[in-house]
Structure 1
Amino acid sequence: MLQMVITGLICGGLLGFVMQRGRFCLTGGFRDMYLTKNNRMFYALLIAIAVQAIGIFALAQFGVIEFSAGTFNWLAVIIGYYVFGIGIVLAGGCATGTWYRAGEGLIGSWIALFGYMVMSAVMKTGPLSGFTKSISAVSAPTNSIPQTFGLSAWFIVTLVVIITAFLVVRELRKPKVALPALKAKRSGLAHLLFEKRWHPFFTAILVGLIAILAWPLSEATGRKAGLGITTPSANIVQYLVTGDQTILNWGVFLVLGILLGSFAAAKASREFKFRAPDAKTSVISFAGGILMGFGASLAGGCSIGNGLVQTAMMTWQGWVALAVMILGTWTASYFVYVRPRSRKAEARTTASVQTAV
C-alpha cells in the first residue's frame, strides 16, 4: 500500500508539474488546429506518443511489463469520444488538463472536475453502467493495428516516429514569431524551472518519458496499465461515498499527484490564484464536465488514456478515438467561437447599413 501511494503520487506529481509549466493543453491545441490552423500542440502530442511507444514496446520486449490490446469497442469509442471532444471545449480543458488547472486555483476547473468525476462514476458503476456495457458489447475482435496487418509492432512504431520527426522538423523550420522577452527575476535552475517558457516539444518529450515510467510503477502494484484518469477519478467518488478501500489503486494516487504537482508548479512560478467564473461560465463548465465523464467512460479512456496511451500501444481504439475527439472539438469550437463571431459581424453589418439608409 505504501509503495502504491508513494509511486503514484510521485508519478502524478511529475506529470502535473510538467503539464502545468509546459501549458500542455490538448483542448487548446485541437481548437487552434481548427481556428488558427496552428498544429504545434498536435505535433507535441505525436512526440509524446512516439516517445512512449518506443519505451513501452522496449519494456515489453525485455519482459519488464505486459499489456494486451484487447478488443476494439468501436461503437462506444466513436460515440463516446465525439461527446468527449465537445465536452472538453465547454469545460475549458480535457480530463488531465482539468486536474492540473484545478491545481492552479481555477474554480471553473473544479466545477468541471466535479461533473466529470460524478458522471464517470455514474457511467462505470452507477445507474448508467448497464448502458455503458451494452454499447461496449459492440466490438471488433482485433484492436492491435500490427496484428490486423500482420506486421511487427516495431514497424508501426518506426513509421509513427518517422512521420512525427518529419512534421516536427518542418514545424521547427518555420519562421519564428518573436515573443516579448520576460525579465528574469531568478537565475540558474530556478529560472529554468519556474520562469522560462517551456517549448511544447520539450514538454512533450517529458510527458512521454513520464508515461513510460508509469507502466512499471503501476504494474509493480498489480495494476497492469499506464497513465489513466477516468477510472481513478470515478474511484475517488466511489470511495468517498462507500468507504471501500479496495478501489484505491495506483491510478487514484496518480490523479491526486497531478493536482499536487500542478499546485506546486503554480505556486513556485507565482501563477497560482483563485479565479471564480461567472454564473454562465460555471454552468457551461459543469455541463462540459458531465459530457467528459459520459464520453470518457463510454470510450474506455480520456485524452490521456486513449489519446496518449492507447495510441502508443498502436491500437485502433487509440487512433480512432483521437481522430473522433478532434472532430468533436472542432464541432464545439464552431458553435462556441466561430458562429457567435459570425453573428456579431452580421449584426454590425446590418446596423451599419441601417445607419447609412
Structure 2
Amino acid sequence: MAEFYAVLISGLLIGMLFGIILQRGRFCMNSAFRDIILLKEYKLIKSVALALLTCMAGFGIMGLAGWVTWNPKPLFAYGSIIGGFVFGLGMVLAAGCASGTTYRVGEGMMGSLVALVGLAIGAFTTKSGALSGVTTALQSVSTGGITVFGDLTPLFCLIIGVIGLVVTFYFWVFKEIKAKREKFFDFSNLGENIFKKGWSWYSTGYLIGIINIIAWPLSAAAGRNYPLGITAGWIGNLKYLVTGDVAALSWISWLVLGVIVGALIASLIAGEFKLRTPKEGKTILLQFLGGFIMGFGAVVASGCNVGNLLSGIPQLSVGSIVSSVGIVLGCWFLAFLLFREKDD
C-alpha cells in the first residue's frame, strides 16, 4: 500500500513541476496557435516545437532501450478530426487550452476555474454520461493505435528529434541569444531569474519536453502507460466527487492537481497571484461553454492538446496527428471569426 501511494505521489510531484514550468513560461497552446494568425507572433509555437522535438528524442531513446512500451492513440475515422476540431473551438471560447486553463487556476483566475469545471463536466458527460452515445458513434470506425513508421517508429523519433533539436537550436535559439548578446547559461541572480522573471520560450519548451519524458515511465509504473495528459485526470477527480470511488483517483488525477499547486507556488513567489474574476457574466458563461466543449472534444478525440499533441505526436501516432490538425484548425477558425468581428 505504501508503494502504491508513493507511485501516485510521483504524479503529484510531476504535476507540480509541470505547473511551475507552465506558469513561469506562460505556456498555452491556445495562445501559441492563435498568435500565429492574429499577431504574427511565433515564439510560443516555437516553444511547442522544441517541446515536441525534445519529447521525440527522449521517447525514442526510452522506446529503443525498452524502458517504455509505445502506446499510440487510436485513429478514429470520424472522432479524431471532429473531436480535435471541436476541442480547438472550445479552447478559444475558454481562453485557454486544457493545460493553460488548469495552471491559470493556480494564478487565481476565476474565469479559468469556471472553464475547468466545464471541461470536467463535459468530459465526464461525454465519457460515461448522457453524451456517451455520441462518443460511441464517432469512435465506431477505428484502425486502433497506428504510427507513421510502424515498428521502426522509436528509431525515427530519435533521429527526427535529435536532428530537429540541433537545427532549431542553431537557427532559433543560438541566433536569438547572439543577437541579443545574452548568456545561454546565466548564473548571476539565479534565484531572481528562476522565481521572479518570466522564462524564455526556448527554456520553457526544453523543460516541458524533459518533464514529459520523465513522466512516462513514472506513469507506467502506476499502471497508466502514457506520458502527460490533462483531461483524463479531471474525469477521474469529478468521478471521485460524484461517486466517492477512491479508485477513480489515479496517477493522472494527482498530476492535474499538482499542476494547480505548482502554478500557485510559482505565482506566489513571483508576486503574480491575484484573484481575478471576469467583469461580464457573458464572459463567464462563454468560458464554461468553452470548457464543456473542450471536454467533449477531448473524449471524442481520445485526448486533449496535451494527450494528443504534446504526448501523442512525439510517438508519431497517426490518430494524434489527425486530432492535432483538428485542434489547430478549430482554434484558427473561431479565432479568425471572433477577430474579424471585433475588427469590423
Under a length normalisation based on structure 2, what TM-score does the superposition of the two structures give?
0.91
**Aligned positions of 1:261-300 closer than 5 A:** 261-277=262-278, 278-300=280-302
Match of 2:226 in 1: 225
1:337 to 323, 333, 339: 339
Letter in 2 for 1:29: A
Change (3 A) 1:216 1:151: closer
Out of 310-319 and 116-125, give the one that drifted further.
310-319
For residues 35 and 47 of structure 1, what CA distance do their matches in structure 2 show?
Answer: 22
2:92 aligns to what? 89
Measured after TM superposition, the shift of residue 177 of structure 1 is: 9.9
**2:141 matches 1:138:** yes
1:95/1:303 contact within 8 Å kept: yes
Indicate the residue corresponding to 2:185 in structure 1.
none
In the aligned structure 2, how far is the partner of 1:164 from the partner of 1:317? 24
SS in 2 for 1:137: coil
TM-score by length of structure 1 reads 0.87
Structure 2 residue aligned with 1:202 = 203
Contact 1:121 1:238 in 2 (8 A): yes
Where in structure 1 are there 5+ consecutive unaligned residues? 179-186, 344-357
Give, in angstroms, the shift of residue 83 of structure 1: 0.8
Q: Answer yes or no: is 1:162 the counterpart of 2:157.
A: no
Contact 2:53 2:160 in 1 (8 A): no
Q: Residue type matched to 2:29 in 1?
A: L
Is the Cα–Cα contact under 8 Å of residues 46 and 164 in structure 1 kept in the other structure? no
In structure 2, relative to structure 1, the CA distance for the partners of 1:177 and 1:23 (3 Å cut) is farther
2:184 maps to none
Which residue of structure 1 lines up, in the alignment, with residue 24 of structure 2?
A: 21
Count of residues in Structure 1 that have an aligned counterpart in Structure 2: 332
SS in 1 for 2:74: coil
Please give the alpha-carbon distance, in whole angstroms, between the structure 1 residues aligned to 2:178 and 2:328.
26
**2:251 matched residue in structure 1:** 250
1:66 aligns with 2:69: yes
Change in CA separation of 1:156 and 1:74 when aligned onto 2, cut-off 3 Å: farther
Do 1:146 and 1:156's aligned partners in 2 also have CA atoms closer than 8 Å?
no
Change (3 A) 1:7 1:38: same
Equivalent position to 1:3, from 2, 6, 10: 6
- Higher Cα Rg: structure 1 or 2? 1
Retained in 1: the 8 A contact 2:64–2:154? no
Deviates more, 1:153-162 or 1:311-320: 153-162
Instruction: Spell out, residue by residue over 1:315-339, the C-alpha distance to the aligned partner (whole angstroms, 9 max, x if none).
Output: 1122222222111111111122222
CA distance in 2: counterparts of 1:176 and 1:84, whole angstroms: 38
- 3-state SS of 2:332 partner: helix
For 1:16, give the aligned amino acid: G
- Matches of 1:30 and 1:195 in 2, distance apart? 26
After TM superposition, give the deviation of residue 298 of structure 1 in Å. 0.6
Q: Point out 4+ residue stretches in structure 1 off by more than 6 angstroms.
A: 174-178
The answer to whether the Cα contact below 8 Å between 1:40 and 1:171 also exists between their aligned partners in 2 is no
* Structure 2 gap segments, 5+ residues each: 181-187
CA contact (8 A) 2:56 2:315 kept: yes
Q: Which amino acid aligns with 1:79?
A: I
Deviation (angstroms), 1:70: 5.5
Q: For residues 321 and 92 of structure 1, what CA distance do their matches in structure 2 show?
A: 20
